[in-house]
Amino acid sequence: MSRRTLAPAADGTGLPAPAAPVPVPALPWLVVLAGVAAGMFVAWQGARYAGWGTGLAGGALLLAALARLVLPRRYAGLLSSRSKASDVLTFAVLGAGVLALALLLP
């Protein structure tokens, strides 16, 4: 257990001041999930839009790789499940594979 000294609150109660708020750790995951869901929705509209929807889903997976690469573990939230290199490689390979599939679709 680490020891940290906390400054007393400014209100005079002697209790420690509350910590700074941490951003929602699930936000990057929700952005990627929304991108993949939007891609699936577009692809579901018919064969004419399958390539666009697949490209959108692949782009969202590449965005996940970029987010995992630049964000620290505590801000990456649900995007971080293994080591950073493993997560980035997995998202990048999946994203590139889905984008390659998008190029093959009409």
Q: Considering only CA atoms, which of 25, 100, 27 is closest in space to residue 62? A: 100
pLDDT at position 32: 95
- The C-alpha atoms of residue 53 and residue 77 are separated, in whole angstroms, by 26
Structural domain includes residue 68: yes
Structural domain includes residue 31: yes
pLDDT at position 9: 54
Structural domain includes residue 98: yes
Structural domain includes residue 4: no
Q: How many residues appear in the chain?
A: 106
Q: How many domains does the chain have?
A: 1
**pLDDT tens for each residue of 66-77:** 999 999 888 888
Structural domain includes residue 13: no
Check if the beta carbon of residue 27 is closer than 8 Å to that of residue 16: no
Check if the beta carbon of residue 54 is closer than 8 Å to that of residue 101: yes
Please say if the pLDDT value at position 102 is more than 90: yes
Domain that holds residue 100: 27-104
Structural domain includes residue 21: no
Structural domain includes residue 10: no
- The C-alpha atoms of residue 75 and residue 88 are separated, in whole angstroms, by 15
pLDDT at position 76: 85
**pLDDT tens for each residue of 7-26:** 555 566 666 666 666 567 78
Q: How confident is residue 106, by pLDDT bands cut at 50, 70 and 90?
A: confident
Q: How confident is residue 4, by pLDDT bands cut at 50, 70 and 90?
A: low
**pLDDT tens for each residue of 50-98:** 999 999 999 999 999 999 999 988 888 888 888 999 999 999 999 999 9
CA atoms within 13 A on the CB side of 104: 6
